[in-house]
Structure formats: structure tokens, C-alpha cells
């Protein structure tokens, strides 16, 4: 029990005990009877608080135990205040009843000293926070989580600190559910506006063993020894668990950091080191004290520090910013791509944003245990190893691209998010949507041949369109209060829809107008906060007010969903109407009808089109929350050019026929992204029951001529989704035959060679499409994997031979073939193949290779192997917690593993909750990965029943969305199964 953080209040500790004992099953928790009674009491009090909070958080339900009567009226603010009393275990009332901090105490500067012990996990620290008050007050409320306060003081800030006495403090209360502390001054003592004060706190805590706050990570070095490091992850609300602070994004302040460490470690902070001294702790104990330069004004969630024994390489940008990559010893050769790209991207962003990067250095560091993909801490960006390390001999093109994308994403945040920060988390999309758009612009700049803006539609727009057609989606701008709600919006809507609507805006404004607007926005709000309106205002100005950007964009950010544009041709005119697109229009369960929109689900739609007359010249008309009519005299017309708009198009009658005809006869007059958008719309309209299955099936026939990556990726994604739903039906076999027939020509063209002269051949063969070497590699990997998915004999033989040669003779598999070779080897091989991959997984020090193996091992056909794999995830020494989600997801997407994964999720729900924290964004993605492909009434009932009495924490919305997807699958299967079967039978027999 030594490492548990001793809290002043009990509920936090109780849950901490749970986390450890459940996870580390061999650990025995021992405690005295008195203590047990105490804990029981605390748990009871904790439950009471939770009940009160739930009642408070859902006032609309009219929870009757709050006001004693069954009442469906929402409570008024006064009533809420009256009942919203938080009683602490001591019987005292916690006087502050909001999850947000008061805004009249504003921090200006933090001095933080941390002394962590990486062996015992003890941390002692102190922090001095200088602040001003805007209103007279006798209390301060700030954030703190799992910190034990040892000493505290409040002083007026004067030149000579010895001349003032600290204020008398009457009490310090902690309220764990809000992660807040309330410090009250003794009677008669007041803080007055206009003066500066400082709050000093000495505290004790532990280095966390989860993936948030100030936490422990480790790696095994080349000698096989485990080495430890301590690192931070604070976004969105974990800075408060490392030091007491005002942990809301609008409380920007400057930070000065001091870290006490061992000689064998070094330490890193957002800013460069200023001074290193030795300090003595008792006899013979020599420690080092690193003092860092003071930071710029920034939010608490962007503070970061790391204590490790890493190696690094560095270089300077043309503007003199020192950029360094830090990795565990031995991995530096895999860091050179990141270093070179980081410098290129930073130089480009300096120019693009028109505002120089404001810090003297930029450190990028690989962290072996990391919950997200990467984190944009100002000047000290932390990365999962697979997001930063790349080995040109061992990693695939997809892994290569991923590293570039993550780098460009986090670097974009240095301006967008760090320099200018959202006022509150309801505008998270400003951070994440923006970085998700600019990352592609950034990578496109350094690697134009990767065709990033084409890939944008499959990676960003299409997944967002798929999710946002659910009634259980949410608007981009969303009210959030507590940490769980905040965590839940790190989702496809904030990221992908945010990115997609910015791309749409860019397509009408042009990149230059957008860029000028951004420069103004950044200059106006730098080192400060802003909201969505501020961005729209700056962009309107940059159009010389020719476009009311806010009026247009509000319809995209403040209401959920998007329009289906229906186009028909009558008397030589084209008429376009708009209506909200829903996959499940008749679904009462999502409460779709109840969710009103301020815009009545109408949008300002930039309707773009190309026609056969000018197939490469995009034309634009605006549908201003209404319809549109124009003369039409073309052979064909394609709307939503390159799928840059966030809407779908339903072509009626001859408009559709002429497009299908064009696709089948002369597909390449349409751009790759236009072809992809037609495929995506056709399949999705079929999913919604707007068109029947023959529509996507008919257009799919053109794929036999397709040679480009983006349309193929779109089509194969839809076929995979059909395959999951049809898996247990007769039509499945026919579907596989059909897909095999479609891919046959391209399968022959891409071949099995990853490198060498064959490439040239492929290059020539595909030269009439817009493919590059890079996209051919991505395409090859898709096509070969599909051939394996469809059990194509020749492909299986080819892949398993390569697998066996690798396993038995150590023959090298080219990086871009590894995914398909490993997964085929696992799927068709037995225990021996699996064991080989497991051994390789444990031995490899190449993160991209480990990730491939981790995914491949989930494709086993043998249930025993899959079960063993799932069980391995229960022990953190066997599978790192950061990888558990991947394992569960790959097993669930394997038809032989889906029921095993579902049982596993249920059986160990508490473990997962303790592992990731109920408030973590991971919980939602676990649910979606495991249940959203179910398609039977029985499974639906099972899922509903299981979750009906489980607290899903941040996963609540993801659960609703998954349930809606299951209902959708059930309905789709009922309505389409027979027709698909008939169509396929007929087509395949001719």
C-alpha cells in the first residue's frame, strides 16, 4: 500500500486501491478492521456524492429525490443552488458548488519544484502561484487531484517578501468529485482587487502508473534490462494531479520549473534548461537540480516534463529554433525521418501562419507507454513510439505517412491550440479539427507525391460523414462541463468533421484567403484565448466582408448532421433541394425528433459541380438554407467536386444514369476523388434505404477499370462493412466471389513485389491514373489484403509461402507486404505461426514492426489462440495497457473472434474501466470496436441488457451510437439480403 496517494478525503483513495488490486492480481491488499470500516464508510459517502452529482448533472430528468416530489419541470438556478450542497466526510459543506472555477482569481505565474523518486514512486513538490483577484474575496478555489497538501500559505506579493505576514488560513477543504480545493482565509482577512498575491503549497503524491498525469513508463534496453522514466500527459484535465493549479484553458500563466533528479537521468520541460546544480540530500546523496527558463503564457494542459535516460539528435531550423528528437538508447537511427520532417514542417508553418514559432526549442520525445497517439505540449511534444519512429528498411509506407501526419498535426497545434487556445473545451474542435485539417496541408507540402489532399476524403471526410448521419451524433460545438464530458468529445466529430468543414471552407475561400485570415486571428489572440466566433470574424475580414463566414459556418458547427442534396432534371433545368440526411430516419430510440436545431436542419451549402463540358473546372453555387435551380444542357453533371463538401448527393433519373454510364465507359474523365465520392454516396444511400442495393452493385462494376488508391479504399471499406453484416448468411460467399472478380485486374497489376524493377512496370501500367509510387504501395496493400480476406487461393499461397520462408529461414519480407503476409500466415497457419509472431513481437525493438505483429495476431482462426491473446491483455507486463484497445479491436473484427471479444469485454469490464479510467476516451472506442457490427435482434438485446446497469463513463455517447448502428444493420439486412443475393447470383452466373 506504500505507493497509494494518501488523500485528505477518502473517495479518491478508495478508487485508487481498487485500481491497483484489480489490475495487479497477485497483489494482496491488507488492512486493519478499523480501516476497513473506515473505507466502507467512505465508499458509502462517496456513493452518496455520486448520486447527488448525477442528480445535479441531469436536472432535466426532474430527479425526485432532490426536491421531494415527482416533477418533470427542470429545476431553476435558484433551486439548483439550494439543493446543490456538497457535504464532505467531515460533515462540513464544500462551499463552492460549480465544476468550473470562479473567474475572479486569475493565476499569473507558477513556480513549480518537483522531486520524483522513480524507484519508490514518491513525489514531493511545491508550487507558488502568483495571482490577481478581480473581486474582493476571502477564499480561493483551485484544482487538485490525489495530492496531499503538507503546507500552504497565502501572501501578498511585495518587493520584500519578509515584510509581509502570510494571511491566516481558516480551512482547506477538498472535494474529490470536482477535483477541487477550497482555501478560506480567517475571519477579517480579505484579498482585494488590484493587488498581487501568491499561493504556496507543499504537497506529496505518487508517480501514477496509469497513462495520465505525471506517470511512470519503462522500456527494455538492448541488454535486456528494464529502465524507467517519468513523463506527463495533462490534456484535458490531468495537470491537477501533478500539481495544484487552476486547470482550465483560459487561465493562462507563465511557468517556471525546477526538477530534482538523479545523476543518471536528464530532465526536459517546455523550455530549455537554464541552470544545473548539484544538491545534497543527507549523507552521500548527491542529486541534481535542473532549473528551466520561464515559459511563455500558456494553459496548464500544455505543461510537460520528462525525467529519463534517453539519447537525442538535434538540428536547427533556419530561424534558429533547436529541434531535437529523444528516444530510448539504441532507437535514434529510427528518428532521423522525424527530425528532418519536423524541421521542414516547422519552417513551412512559420511561413504559412505568418507568425514565427515563439519558443527557442522544440523537443519531440518517444514515450513507450502512451494513451493517445501524441500530445502537443508547448515545446515538448510527446509521442507514442509508432507515431515518431520510422525505419526505412523495416516500416511500411503507411507507417511512414503516419509519422509525418502525426508530426504535422502536433506541430500545427503549436500555433493553433498552444499560441491561441480555445476559451473552453466546448470549442475543442478549434484545436483538433484545425490540426486535423492542417496536418494534411503540412504533409502535402513536404511530400506532394503522397497526394494527401486526395487521401483526405478517405481518412477524414468519409468517416465523419458516416458517423454524423446517426441521430445520436452531436454538433461540433458542444456544451461540456466535467472531465468525463470533455474527454468524450475527443471524437470523430471534433477531429474529422471539424477538419472536413474547414476543408470545405478552404475550397470556397481559397488557401490564400484562409491563410491571411488565420494570420490575423493568430496575431490578434496570441498568448491568449479565443472562440469559434473569433475565427469566423477574422476569416470574414480576410474576404473583405464579401462572405459572412459566421452565418454560413454556424449552420455547420451549431447543428449536428448534414444535408442530402437531391438533384433532378426537369425541362432542361436542374433542381437541387436539401434535407437532413439520416441513416435511420424512422428511429425513435435515438430521440432524433426531440433534438431541435436552431437552423431547422437547413444549411448554407456551397454546391460545387463539374460537367462533361469542362470536367476539370469546378463551378460553385450557394444553397442558402434553401433550394436551387439552374439551366442544364450537359451530358453529365457531378456535384460535390472531389468530395470537398460535407454533404451527400442523390441523383434522380437520368442524372444518375448518365453518371453510371460515364463511370463504366470512361471513368477517368472524373477525378479519383470524384469517383470515390460517387461510390461512397451510393453505398451510404443504400444503407439508409434511399436506394436499393443494385445501385452500389451496378456502379461497383466499373472498379474492374479502377487503378487509383482512393476510390479503391472507399469501395473496399464499404464491402468490408457489408461482409461483416452478411458474414453468417448465404450471400456472403457470393459477395466474396464478386469482390474477387472486381479486384482481379488490379490484383494482377500490382503484383507481389514491393521494390525493384517490378515497380517500374507497375508504374508504367498505372501511368494513366494519378497514382504515385507511394499510393501504389498503399493500393497494393489494400488489394492483397482483400484477396486474402476473400480466400483467393493464389494469394493465400503466395502469402503463406512468404510467411513460412520468413519463419523457417529468416527470409526478409518487404515492409509493405508484411501486413498481408503476417496476417495471412496467422490466419492460415496454426499455433506454430502464432507463437513465432509472438516471439518476434516480444523481441523486436522496431515499434512499427511490433504494431504490425500485434494486429496480425488477431487474425487467427483458432478460437483458443484468440482467447489466449485476449487473456494476455489482462496482464500489463504481457501487453502494454496502451495496446489493449488494438488487440480487442482486431479480435472483434475477425469473424472467428467477435463473440469472444464481446464476452471478454463483458467479463472484464471492471478491469478495463480501472485500467483506462471511466472518464477516458478509450472506453467509448472499446464499445464501438466490439459491438457496432452486430446485426441480429438477439445481439442487440444482449448489448442493451448488459450496459443497462453498467456505468459507461465517457463512453455513453459511443454506446448510443453503437446501438443505433446495430439497429441499422438489422434493418439493412432485412431489407437488402435477398436482393443482394439475387443480384450477385445473376451477375456471377453470366
* C-beta of 238 vs 310, nearer to ligand BES: 238
* C-beta of 399 vs 776, nearer to ligand BES: 399
* C-beta of 270 vs 559, nearer to ligand BES: 270
Give the burial class of 146: count Cβ atoms within 10 A of its Cβ; 0-12 exposed, 13-18 middle, 19 or more buried.
Answer: buried
Instruction: Determine if 514 is a binding residue for Zn ion (CB under 5 A).
Output: no
Give Rg (Cα) of the chain: 29
702, 694, 693: which is closest to 662 by C-alpha?
702
CA dist., res. 964 & res. 970, Å (int): 10
Binding piece for ligand BES, criterion CB under 6 A, among 89-97, 402-410, 676-684, 689-697: 402-410
Whether omega before 383 lies within 30 degrees of 0, making that bond cis, reads no
Binding piece for Zn ion, criterion CB under 5 A, among 43-51, 183-191, 425-433, 721-729: 425-433
Residue nearest to Zn ion (CB): 435
Least distance between ligand BES and beta carbon 927 (Å): 17
Binding piece for ligand BES, criterion CB under 6 A, among 319-327, 374-382, 805-813, 862-870: 374-382
Choose, from 385, 410, 459, 485, the residue flagged as catalytic.
410
* C-beta of 432 vs 706, nearer to Zn ion: 432
Instruction: Determine if 374 is a binding residue for ligand BES (CB under 6 A).
Output: yes
Q: Indicate which of Zn ion, ligand BES, none lies near residue 235 (CB less than 5 to 8 Å, by partner kind).
A: ligand BES
* C-beta of 371 vs 645, nearer to ligand BES: 371
CA dist., res. 734 & res. 10, Å (int): 60
921-931 helix and 937-948 helix, angle to the nearest 10 degrees: 160
Q: What is the total count of residues that contact ligand BES (CB under 6 A)?
A: 16
* Pairing relationship of beta strands 322-327 and 361-367 according to DSSP bridges: parallel
Which secondary-structure segment (H or E) carries 753? none
Binding piece for ligand BES, criterion CB under 6 A, among 366-374, 545-553, 767-775, 864-872: 366-374
Scanning 69-204, the segments in alpha helix (DSSP H) are 77-83
CA dist., res. 379 & res. 363, Å (int): 6
CA dist., res. 721 & res. 734, Å (int): 15
Instruction: Determine if 410 is a binding residue for ligand BES (CB under 6 A).
Output: yes
Q: Indicate which of ligand BES, Zn ion, none lies near residue 265 (CB less than 5 to 8 Å, by partner kind).
A: none
* C-beta of 432 vs 674, nearer to Zn ion: 432
The answer to whether 347 is annotated as binding is no
Termini Cα distance of the chain: 72
Least distance between Zn ion and beta carbon 438 (Å): 10
**Going residue by residue from 452 to 491, which x/- string records binding to ligand BES, judged by CB under 6 A?**
--------------------------------------x-
Binding piece for ligand BES, criterion CB under 6 A, among 408-416, 553-561, 651-659, 893-901: 408-416
Query: Which triple of cell numbers denotes residue 99?
Result: 465544476
713, 714, 712, 734: which is closest to 723 by C-alpha?
734
503, 422, 508, 396: which is closest to 457 by C-alpha?
503
* Pairing relationship of beta strands 286-292 and 273-280 according to DSSP bridges: antiparallel
Least distance between Zn ion and beta carbon 503 (Å): 16
Give CA separation, 409 vs 33, 414, 415, 556, in Å.
53, 9, 11, 23
Spell 450-479 as b/e; 16+ CB within 10 A means b.
Answer: bbbbbbbbbbbbbbbbbbbbbbbbbbbbbe
Rounding to the nearest 10 degrees, give the CA dihedral for residues 409, 415, 420, 424.
10
Spell 587-601 as b/e; 16+ CB within 10 A means b.
Answer: beebebeebeeeeeb
Binding piece for ligand BES, criterion CB under 6 A, among 22-30, 368-376, 745-753, 945-953: 368-376
* C-beta of 143 vs 266, nearer to ligand BES: 143
Strands of 361-367's sheet in order across: 311-316, 322-327, 361-367, 380-384, 374-375
Give CA separation, 71 vs 57, 408, 708, in Å.
16, 52, 60
Binding piece for ligand BES, criterion CB under 6 A, among 311-319, 358-366, 371-379, 909-917: 371-379
Instruction: Determine if 406 is a binding residue for Zn ion (CB under 5 A).
Output: no
Least distance between Zn ion and beta carbon 413 (Å): 6
Q: Which of 129, 345, 399, 435 binds Zn ion (CB under 5 A)?
A: 435
**Going residue by residue from 724 to 763, which x/- string records binding to Zn ion, judged by CB under 5 A?**
----------------------------------------
Instruction: Determine if 260 is a binding residue for ligand BES (CB under 6 A).
Output: no
* C-beta of 407 vs 865, nearer to Zn ion: 407
CA dist., res. 476 & res. 80, Å (int): 28
The sign of the torsion formed by the CA atoms of 202, 206, 212, 217 equals positive
**Is residue 202 within 8 Å of residue 152, measured between CB atoms?**
yes
The answer to whether 167 is annotated as binding is no
Q: Indicate which of Zn ion, ligand BES, none lies near residue 469 (CB less than 5 to 8 Å, by partner kind).
A: none
774, 739, 737: which is closest to 754 by C-alpha?
774
331: left (phi over 0), alpha (psi -120 to 50) or beta: alpha
Instruction: Determine if 376 is a binding residue for ligand BES (CB under 6 A).
Output: yes
Q: Which residues contact 839 (CB under 8 A, 6 or more apart)?
A: none
Instruction: Determine if 409 is a binding residue for ligand BES (CB under 6 A).
Output: yes
CA dist., res. 492 & res. 476, Å (int): 10
Least distance between Zn ion and beta carbon 930 (Å): 25
Q: Which of 257, 405, 821, 970 binds ligand BES (CB under 6 A)?
A: 405
Least distance between ligand BES and beta carbon 443 (Å): 10
* Binders in 302-331 for Zn ion, by CB under 5 A: none
Q: Is residue 410 annotated as a catalytic residue, yes or no?
A: yes
* Binders in 417-456 for ligand BES, by CB under 6 A: 432, 435
Least distance between ligand BES and beta carbon 473 (Å): 19
Instruction: Determine if 422 is a binding residue for Zn ion (CB under 5 A).
Output: no
Least distance between ligand BES and beta carbon 372 (Å): 3
Q: Indicate which of ligand BES, Zn ion, none lies near residue 234 (CB less than 5 to 8 Å, by partner kind).
A: none
Q: Which residues contact 631 (CB under 8 A, 6 or more apart)?
A: 572, 573, 574
Instruction: Determine if 891 is a binding residue for Zn ion (CB under 5 A).
Output: no
Instruction: Determine if 338 is a binding residue for ligand BES (CB under 6 A).
Output: no
* Binders in 909-968 for ligand BES, by CB under 6 A: 921
9: three-class secondary structure by DSSP: coil
* C-beta of 435 vs 676, nearer to ligand BES: 435
Q: Which of 143, 413, 836, 957 binds ligand BES (CB under 6 A)?
A: 413
Q: Which of 372, 583, 970, 980 binds ligand BES (CB under 6 A)?
A: 372
The answer to whether 409 is annotated as binding is yes
**Is residue 228 within 8 Å of residue 209, measured between CB atoms?**
no
Binding piece for ligand BES, criterion CB under 6 A, among 331-339, 409-417, 752-760, 854-862: 409-417
Q: Which residues contact 444 (CB under 8 A, 6 or more apart)?
A: 450, 452, 453
Phi, then psi, of 474 in degrees rounded to 5: -150, 160
533: three-class secondary structure by DSSP: helix
Q: Indicate which of Zn ion, ligand BES, none lies near residue 838 (CB less than 5 to 8 Å, by partner kind).
A: none
**Going residue by residue from 225 to 244, which x/- string records binding to ligand BES, judged by CB under 6 A?**
----------xx--------
* C-beta of 250 vs 541, nearer to ligand BES: 250
* Contact footprint for Zn ion (CB under 5 A): 432, 435
* Contact footprint for ligand BES (CB under 6 A): 235-236, 372-376, 405-406, 409-410, 413, 432, 435, 490, 921
Residues belonging to the binding site for Zn(2+) are: 409, 413, 432
Show which residues are catalytic.
410
Residues belonging to the binding site are: 409, 413, 432
Amino acid at each position: 500500500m506504500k505507493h497509494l496517494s494518501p488523500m485528505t478525503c477518502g473517495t479518491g483513495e478508495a478508487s485508487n486501491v481498487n485500481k491497483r488490486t484489480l489490475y495487479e492480481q497477485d497483489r494482496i491488499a491488507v488492512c486493519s478492521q478499523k480501516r476497513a470500516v473506515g473505507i466502507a464508510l467512505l465508499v458509502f459517502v462517496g456513493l452518496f456524492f455520486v448520486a447527488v452529482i448525477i442528480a445535479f448533472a441531469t436536472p432535466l430528468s426532474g430527479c425526485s429525490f432532490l426536491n421531494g416530489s415527482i416533477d418533470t419541470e427542470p429545476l431553476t438556478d435558484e433551486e439548483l443552488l439550494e439543493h446543490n450542497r456538497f457535504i464532505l466526510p467531515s460533515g462540513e459543506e464544500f462551499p463552492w458548488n460549480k465544476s468550473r472555477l470562479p473567474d475572479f482569481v486569475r493565476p499569473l505565474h507558477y513556480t513549480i519544484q518537483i522531486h520524483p523518486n522513480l524507484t519508490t514512486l514518491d513525489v514531493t513538490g511545491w508550487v507558488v502561484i502568483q495571482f490577481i483577484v478581480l473581486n474582493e474575496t476571502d477564499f480561493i478555489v483551485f484544482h487538485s487531484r490525489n495530492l496531499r497538501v503538507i503546507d500552504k500559505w497565502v501572501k501578498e506579493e511585495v518587493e520584500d517578501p519578509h515584510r509581509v505576514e502570510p494571511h491566516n488560513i481558516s480551512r482547506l477543504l477538498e472535494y474529490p468529485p470536482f477535483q477541487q480545493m477550497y482555501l478560506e482565509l480567517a475571519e477579517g482577512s480579505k484579498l482585494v482587487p488590484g493587488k498581487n498575491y501568491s499561493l504556496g503549497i507543499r504537497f506529496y503524491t505518487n508517480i501514477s502508473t496509469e497513462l495520465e498525469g505525471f506517470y511512470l513508463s519503462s522500456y527494455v534496453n538492448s541488454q535486456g534490462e528494464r529502465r524507467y522514466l517519468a513523463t506527463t500527459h495533462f490534456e484535458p484535465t490531468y495537470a491537477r494531479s501533478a500539481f495544484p493549479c487552476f486547470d482550465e484553458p483560459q487561465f493562462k500563466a507563465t511557468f517556471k520549473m525546477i526538477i530534482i533528479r538523479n545523476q543518471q537521468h536528464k530532465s526536459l520541460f517546455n523550455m530549455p534548461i537554464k541552470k544545473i546544480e548539484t544538491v545534497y540530500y543527507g549523507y552521500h546523496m548527491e542529486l541534481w537540480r535542473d532549473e528551466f527558463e520561464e515559459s511563455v503564457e500558456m494553459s496548464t494542459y500544455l505543461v510537460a516534463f520528462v525525467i529519463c535516460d534517453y539519447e537525442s539528435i538535434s538540428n536547427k531550423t533556419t530561424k534558429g529554433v533547436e529541434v531535437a528528437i529523444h528516444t530510448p538508447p539504441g532507437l535514434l537511427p529510427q528518428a532521423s525521418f522525424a527530425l528532418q520532417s519536423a524541421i521542414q514542417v516547422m519552417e513551412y508553418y512559420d511561413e504559412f501562419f505568418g507568425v514565427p514559432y515563439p519558443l527557442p526549442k522544440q523537443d519531440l520525445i518517444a514515450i513507450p507507454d502512451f494513451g493517445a497517439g501524441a500530445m502537443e505540449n508547448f515545446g515538448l511534444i510527446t509521442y507514442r513510439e509508432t507515431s515518431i519512429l520510422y525505419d526505412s528498411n523495416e516500416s511500411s509506407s503507411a507507417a511512414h505517412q503516419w509519422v509525418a501526419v502525426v508530426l504535422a498535426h502536433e506541430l500545427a497545434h503549436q500555433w493553433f491550440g498552444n499560441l491561441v487556445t480555445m476559451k473552453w473545451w466546448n470549442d475543442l474542435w478549434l484545436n483538433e479539427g484545425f490540426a486535423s485539417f492542417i496536418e494534411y496541408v503540412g504533409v502535402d507540402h513536404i511530400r506532394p507525391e503522397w497526394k494527401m489532399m486526395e487521401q483526405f476524403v478517405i481518412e477524414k471526410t468519409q468517416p465523419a460523414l458516416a458517423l454524423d448521419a446517426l441521430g445520436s451524433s452531436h454538433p461540433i460545438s458542444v456544451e461540456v462541463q466535467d472531465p468525463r464530458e470533455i474527454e468524450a468529445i475527443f471524437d470523430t466529430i471534433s477531429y474529422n468533421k471539424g477538419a472536413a468543414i474547414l476543408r470545405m471552407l478552404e475550397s470556397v475561400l481559397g488557401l490564400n484567403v484562409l491563410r491571411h485570415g488565420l494570420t490575423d486571428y493568430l496575431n490578434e489572440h496570441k498568448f491568449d484565448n479565443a472562440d469559434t466566433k473569433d475565427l469566423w470574424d477574422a476569416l470574414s475580414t480576410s474576404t473583405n466582408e464579401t462572405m459572412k463566414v459566421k452565418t454560413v459556418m454556424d449552420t455547420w458547427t451549431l447543428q449536428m448532421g448534414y444535408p442530402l442534396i437531391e438533384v433532378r432534371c426537369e425541362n432542361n433545368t436542374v433542381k437541387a433541394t436539401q434535407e437532413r440526411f439520416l441513416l435511420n430516419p424512422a428511429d425513435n430510440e435515438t430521440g432524433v425528433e426531440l433534438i431541435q436545431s436552431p437552423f431547422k436542419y437547413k444549411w448554407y451549402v456551397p454546391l460545387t459541380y463539374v460537367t462533361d463540358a469542362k470536367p476539370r473546372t469546378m463551378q460553385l453555387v450557394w444553397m442558402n438554407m434553401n433550394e436551387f435551380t439552374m439551366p442544364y444542357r450537359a451530358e453529365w453533371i457531378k456535384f460535390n467536386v472531389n468530395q470537398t463538401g460535407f454533404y451527400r448527393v442523390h441523383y434522380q433519373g437520368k442524372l444518375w444514369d448518365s453518371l453510371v454510364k460515364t463511370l463504366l465507359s470512361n471513368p477517368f474523365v472524373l477525378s479519383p476523388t470524384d469517383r470515390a465520392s460517387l461510390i461512397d454516396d451510393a453505398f451510404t444511400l443504400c444503407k439508409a434505404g434511399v436506394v436499393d442495393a443494385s445501385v452500389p452493385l451496378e456502379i461497383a462494376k466499373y472498379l474492374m477499370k479502377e487503378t487509383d488508391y482512393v476510390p479503391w479504399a472507399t469501395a473496399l471499406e464499404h464491402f468490408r462493412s457489408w461482409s461483416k453484416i452478411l458474414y453468417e448468411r448465404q450471400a456472403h460467399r457470393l459477395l466474396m466471389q464478386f469482390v474477387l472478380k472486381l479486384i482481379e485486374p488490379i490484383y494482377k497489376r500490382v503484383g507481389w513485389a514491393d521494390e525493384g524493377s517490378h515497380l517500374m512496370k507497375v508504374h508504367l501500367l498505372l501511368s494513366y491514373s494519378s497514382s504515385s509510387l507511394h499510393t501504389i504501395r498503399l493500393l497494393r496493400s489494400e488489394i492483397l489484403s482483400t484477396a486474402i480476406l476473400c480466400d483467393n487461393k493464389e494469394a493465400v499461397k503466395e502469402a503463406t509461402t512468404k510467411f513460412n520462408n520468413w519463419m523457417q529461414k529468416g527470409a526478409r519480407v518487404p515492409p509493405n507486404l508484411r501486413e498481408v503476409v503476417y496476417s495471412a500466415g496467422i490466419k492460415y497457419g496454426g499455433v506454430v505461426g502464432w507463437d513465432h509472431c509472438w516471439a518476434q513481437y516480444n523481441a523486436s525493438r522496431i515499434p512499427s514492426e511490433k504494431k504490425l505483429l500485434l494486429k496480425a495476431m488477431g487474425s487467427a482462426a483458432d478460437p483458443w489462440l484468440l482467447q489466449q491473446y485476449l487473456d494476455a491483455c489482462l496482464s500489463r507486463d504481457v501487453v502494454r495497457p496502451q495496446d489493449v484497445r488494438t488487440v480487442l479491436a482486431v479480435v472483434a473484427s475477425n469473424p472467428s473472434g467477435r463473440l469472444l471479444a464481446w464476452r471478454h469485454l463483458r467479463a472484464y469490464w471492471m478491469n478495463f474501466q480501472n485500467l483506462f479510467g471511466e472518464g477516458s476516451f478509450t472506453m467509448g472506442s472499446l464499445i464501438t470496436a466490439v459491438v457496432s457490427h452486430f446485426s441480429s435482434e438477439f445481439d442487440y438485446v444482449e448489448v442493451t441488457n448488459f450496459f443497462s446497469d453498467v456505468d459507461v463513463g465517457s463512453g455513453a455517447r459511443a454506446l448510443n451510437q453503437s446501438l443505433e448502428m446495430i439497429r441499422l444493420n438489422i434493418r439493412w439486412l432485412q431489407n437488402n439480403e435477398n436482393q443482394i443475393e439475387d443480384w450477385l447470383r445473376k451477375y456471377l452466373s453470366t
